DNA sequence: ATAACAAATGCACTTCCATTGCACTTACTA
DNA sequence: TAGTAAGTGCAATGGAAGTGCATTTGTTAT
C-alpha cells in the first residue's frame, strides 16, 4: 500500500499541500467533479492553482477528463490499471439527468465499435444518460 | 416530395427567408456545423437570429445537436425517420482529429448498452474519434 | 546554512461561446 | 387595413477556459 505522496512522486509530480488536498478531495468523491466543484471546496485557494493542478494530474494520468455532454468538463481519478495513456476512457460514463451527477462505470468497458471503410477509430467517448441508482429508487 | 416550406410548416415552424436559407445551408453540408460556421456563411445576418433559428430547428426536431468533445456544439439535419424526439442520437458520430470535421454515421446505430442495476438508461451519446475517410487516403 | 535556481501559486486579464432583454420590423389574422 | 404575434437586430451579460507575469515556496548545490 503506497501513500498519496508516493503515488504522486512515482508519477513525477512534486508533492505540495494543495496537491495532496485536491487528491484527497477527488478520492473521497464518488462522482466526477468540475473545476467549480473543486473551487467551492477550496475557497481560499486560487482558481488558477486548482486549474493547473488538475491539468497536471491529467497530464500525468492521475485523473481523466470526462465530457458528459453538459458542456462542463469533469474529472475523476483514474483507477489503478486505468490506461488513459493508451486509449482514453475505455470504460463508459453515466450521467444522471436528475441529480446531474456523472460517474465512472469502470466495470463497463466500451464495446468494439465498427466504423465504415476508410475511417480509422482512435478512441471512443460513450456517455449513457438517464437516472442513477440513487435517484431511481 | 415536399418542399422545404412544406416541411417547415408541417413542423409548426413559420417560414421566413432566413429559415429557408439556413435550412438549405444545412442541407448542402455533409458535415455537422457550428454556429460560427453558419455565421460565416451569412455575414449579413445577426448572430442571434442564427442562434435562435437553430434552436427553433432543434426544438422542432429539424436538426439534432452533436457534442463531439471539441467543446463547441454542432448541428446536423435530422434524416427522415430520425426520431430525436424519442431518443436522441441513436446513430453514432465520428469526429476527425485531422480535419476537425464531425459527421453523422446514420447507418451505424449505437449498440445496446448494459448499465448496472438501479440505473435507467434514457439515451446514449457515442462519439468515435480518429481519422476520416477523406483524411486517411 | 545559505545562495541560486526552478517550480508552484496568486492575481489580473483575456478569449470564446452561449444566452438574454429590449426595441424594432416583419408577417399573419380578424 | 389595423391589431397582434412572431421574428430579427443590437447590446450586453455570464460562464468556463486559458495565459502572462510577479511573488512565493521548495529543491539543490556550494
Ligand atoms: Mn471515468
Ligand atoms: Mn447525427
Ligand atoms: Zn441521480
Ligand atoms: Zn478528416
Residue A34's beta-bridge partner residues? Answer: A74
Looking at A104-108, A110-114, B86-90, which range is the least confident one? Answer: B86-90
How high is the pLDDT of residue B24?
Answer: 97
3-state secondary structure of A14: coil
Phi-psi region of B71 (alpha: psi -120 to 50; beta: other; left: phi over 0): left
Query: Is the confidence at residue A86, as pLDDT, over 70?
Result: no
Task: Spell out the per-residue pLDDT of chain B, length 137, in tens.
Answer: 789 999 999 999 999 999 999 999 999 998 999 999 999 999 999 999 999 999 999 999 999 999 999 999 999 999 877 766 665 557 899 999 999 999 999 888 888 899 999 999 998 999 999 999 999 98
For residue A99, what are the contacts with CB-CB under 8 A and spacing of at least 6?
Answer: A132, A134, A135
How high is the pLDDT of residue B89?
Answer: 55
The C-alpha atoms of residue A39 and residue A12 are separated, in whole angstroms, by 24
The C-alpha atoms of residue B40 and residue A84 are separated, in whole angstroms, by 37
Query: Is the confidence at residue A1, as pLDDT, over 90?
Result: no
Q: How many other CB atoms sit within 10 Å of the CB of residue A42?
A: 17
How high is the pLDDT of residue B36?
Answer: 97
3-state secondary structure of B20: helix
The C-alpha atoms of residue A82 and residue B15 are separated, in whole angstroms, by 52
The C-alpha atoms of residue B103 and residue B22 are separated, in whole angstroms, by 18
Cell of A8: 504522486
Query: Is the confidence at residue A19, as pLDDT, over 70?
Result: yes
pLDDT band at A48 (very low <50, low <70, confident <90, very high): very high
pLDDT band at A36 (very low <50, low <70, confident <90, very high): very high
How high is the pLDDT of residue A87?
Answer: 59
The C-alpha atoms of residue B42 and residue B92 are separated, in whole angstroms, by 29
How high is the pLDDT of residue B109?
Answer: 85
Cβ-contact B99, B135 below 8 angstroms: yes
Report DSSP letters for B42-67, one per residue. Answer: -TTS-HHHHHHHHHHHHHTTSEEEE-
Residue B66's beta-bridge partner residues? Answer: B74
Query: Is the confidence at residue A27, as pLDDT, over 90?
Result: yes
How high is the pLDDT of residue A31?
Answer: 96
Question: DSSP letter at B72?
Answer: S
Query: Is the confidence at residue A88, as pLDDT, over 60?
Result: no
Cβ-contact B128, A124 below 8 angstroms: yes
pLDDT band at A60 (very low <50, low <70, confident <90, very high): very high
Mean pLDDT of chain A: 92
Give the global pTM: 0.90
Interface with chain B: mutation pick from A34, A74, A126, A136, highest number of B CBs within 10 Å: A126
**A9 CA, C10 C1': Å apart:** 24
Question: DSSP letter at A73?
Answer: -
Percent of chain A's residues with pLDDT above 70: 96
How high is the pLDDT of residue A82?
Answer: 75
Query: Is the confidence at residue A9, as pLDDT, over 80?
Result: yes
CB within 7 A of nucleic chain C: A 13-14, 16-19, 44-49, 52-53, 56, 71; B 14-17, 34-36, 47-48, 51-52, 55, 71-73
Query: Is the confidence at residue A45, as pLDDT, over 90?
Result: yes
Residue A104's beta-bridge partner residues? Answer: A93
Under an 8 A CB cutoff, do A124 and B120 touch? no
How high is the pLDDT of residue A15?
Answer: 96
3-state secondary structure of A8: helix
Which residue ranges form the domains of chain A, and what is each CATH number? Answer: 4-136 (1.10.10.10)
Amino acid at each position: 500500500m503506497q501513500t498519496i505522496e508516493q503515488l504522486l512522486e512515482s508519477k513525477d509530480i512534486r508533492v505540495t499541500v494543495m496537491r495532496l488536498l485536491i487528491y484527497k478531495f477527488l478520492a473521497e468523491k464518488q462522482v466526477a467533479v468540475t473545476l467549480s466543484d473543486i473551487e467551492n471546496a477550496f475557497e481560499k485557494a486560487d482558481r488558477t492553482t486548482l486549474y493547473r493542478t488538475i491539468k497536471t494530474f491529467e497530464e500525468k494520468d492521475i485523473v481523466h477528463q470526462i465530457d458528459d455532454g453538459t458542456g462542463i468538463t469533469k474529472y475523476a481519478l483514474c483507477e489503478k490499471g486505468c490506461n488513459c495513456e493508451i486509449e482514453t476512457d475505455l470504460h463508459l460514463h453515466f450521467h444522471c439527468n436528475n441529480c446531474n451527477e456523472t460517474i465512472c462505470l469502470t466495470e463497463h468497458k466500451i464495446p468494439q465499435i465498427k466504423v465504415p471503410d476508410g475511417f480509422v477509430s482512435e478512441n471512443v467517448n460513450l456517455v449513457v444518460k438517464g437516472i442513477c441508482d440513487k435517484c431511481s429508487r
